[in-house]
Amino acid sequence: MAKNLPHSLDAERSVLGAVFLNPALANALTDELRAVDFFDPIHGYIFEAIDALNKEKKAIDYSSVSGKLDQMGKLEEVGGIQTLIELSNYTVALDHLETYIDLVRSFSLKREVIKVTQNIATQGLTTDIETDEYLEEAERLIFELSKKRKAGDFKPLKEVVQAIQEKLTFLQSHKGGITGLTTGFLKLDQYINGLQKEEFIILAARPSVGKSAFAIQLALNAAMKNKDGKAGVAFFSLEMSNEQLVTRMISNMANIENSKLRTGFLTSQEWKQFEAYSERLNRLNIFFDDSASSNLSDIRAKCRKLAQEGKLDLIVIDYLQLIHIDARTQSRQEEVSRISRSLKQLARELSVPVIALSQLSRDVERSSDKRPLLSHLRESGSIEQDADIVMFIHRDEYYEREKSDAGDTEIIVAKNRQGRTGTIHFIFSANYSRFLERSDREE
């Protein structure tokens, strides 16, 4: 069966032989291919050796590649330096390298499609799996393959200018108003121009400062105040249950203390408020997922399904460091970096804003004024890199426990690729999980 799988040994020999004829082509080769793209395992080993030397910025020739293969314990299996010399004979013209690379990658993708579809068929035939779960897993696997197709061509300048003209026309027709989803907070909207499509937004704070409450209110406001109350919000909570989330929403809207909703000791008036605002909540398109074991693939599949149904305008994830990934990583920092990049890609793929909550490191508590900085983002510098907007929640009362908690809170817009940075003053009422912007007069 393996011999019948799509492949071209001549194309594989040609791309490898080209590097020995012109070592400067190593970058093009290693940028576009992986060792697993080669059908012949011997060719895969040779590619790994070339890739390793290229990353080490060392010379690439017959001697250095054979030396690297010897270090890998694969030189004898490959057939020695003679095999490397023979590869050059298969390269007809260096000008055709891109064609050979495309062939190798194309056949590799076909083999992956065959493998995945066979696995899907086997799973359906041999396991007792629910239909919905089976379809979701099949969709996820096929989607992962589709991402491996070659990236699109360059866009000519004319097309980009036309897109900018269309955007400017849209902005002019809105007379300076916000162009994204409104957050429900006037000043915050002025700073970030609303929650923009494709933006990856980080909301970070130390534990118990109120980041979950703020995220809940952003989700609630986005659902209520956009598209005539029909905007769709996907809320992934890896720490709190769905009931806890909705309880906070009801507390926020109905002006009933959280503690009363947890104990059930409501006055007759509060029961009326509870029923009235519960009815209003029922009309909103907010979709919850409180699976503590959610991984990136699950989140992507569920969001993709909502988007296909036209029910997705915002994604909120509470919180980033609790997301699992399927692939093995060498360190926690690398894992968080992959999660961050994937969430940015998700925002671009589905063309919706993604808000991800993040923890701050303890270093913020060692600073003199306890004010968070971008360098305090926990476990990965790539979070700062990937994010379009980074917002911090800061409360002096959190660090000065002897002070009475007046609820004074700062939302610090520390990074904003497309707009202003600065501090917006809020009042946070923990009993009602509610944030209110201070008026200009109060400030």
Q: Please report the pLDDT score of residue 19 as a whole number.
A: 87
In angstroms, the CA 75 to CA 57 distance is: 21
- Tell me the per-residue pLDDT of 222-278, one tens digit each, with 9 for 90 and over: 999 998 889 999 999 887 888 888 888 888 888 888 888 888 788 888 888 888 888
- Tell me the per-residue pLDDT of 148-173, one tens digit each, with 9 for 90 and over: 555 455 667 777 777 777 767 766 66
Contact in structure between 427 and 190 (CB atoms under 8 Å): no
Instruction: Report which DSSP code applies to 85.
Output: H
Residue 111 lies in a domain: yes
Residues 272 and 368 in one domain: yes
Residues 203 and 69 in one domain: no
* Four-point Cα dihedral 76, 80, 86, 87, nearest 10: 60
Residue 230 lies in a domain: yes
Residue 163 lies in a domain: no
- 159, 239, 243, 400: the active-site residue: 239
Beta pairing partners, 237: 318
Nearest alpha carbon to residue 420 among 391, 443, 382? 391
Residue 169 lies in a domain: no
Residues 199 and 98 in one domain: no
Residues 148 and 194 in one domain: no
Residue 299 lies in a domain: yes
Q: Which residues of the chain have pLDDT under 50?
A: 1, 151, 440-443
Residue 165 lies in a domain: no
Which two three-digit tokens encode residue 46?
A: 């040779």
**Structural domains counted in the chain:** 2
Residues 124 and 198 in one domain: no
Residues 92 and 179 in one domain: no
Residues 147 and 179 in one domain: no
Find tokens 């492949």 and name the residue. Answer: 7
Residue 422 three-state SS: strand
Find tokens 């609790």 and name the residue. Answer: 322
Q: In the annotation, is 239 catalytic?
A: yes
* Four-point Cα dihedral 126, 129, 130, 131, nearest 10: -40
Residue 379 lies in a domain: yes
Residue 442 lies in a domain: no
DSSP assignment string, 4-28? GSS--HHHHHHHHHHHHH-GGGHHH
Residues 231 and 105 in one domain: no
| CATH, residue 346 | 3.40.50.300
Phi (first) and psi of residue 232, to 5 degrees: -100, 130
Beta pairing partners, 7: none
In angstroms, the CA 125 to CA 249 distance is: 44
Residues 268 and 415 in one domain: yes
Residues 43 and 84 in one domain: yes
Beta pairing partners, 437: 426
- What residue numbers bound the domain in which 251 lies? 175-437
Final residue in a domain of this structure, among 118, 152, 186: 152
Residues 118 and 211 in one domain: no
Contact in structure between 412 and 397 (CB atoms under 8 Å): no
Helices (H), 147-293: 157-173, 186-192, 211-225, 242-254, 258-263, 268-282
Residues 220 and 290 in one domain: yes
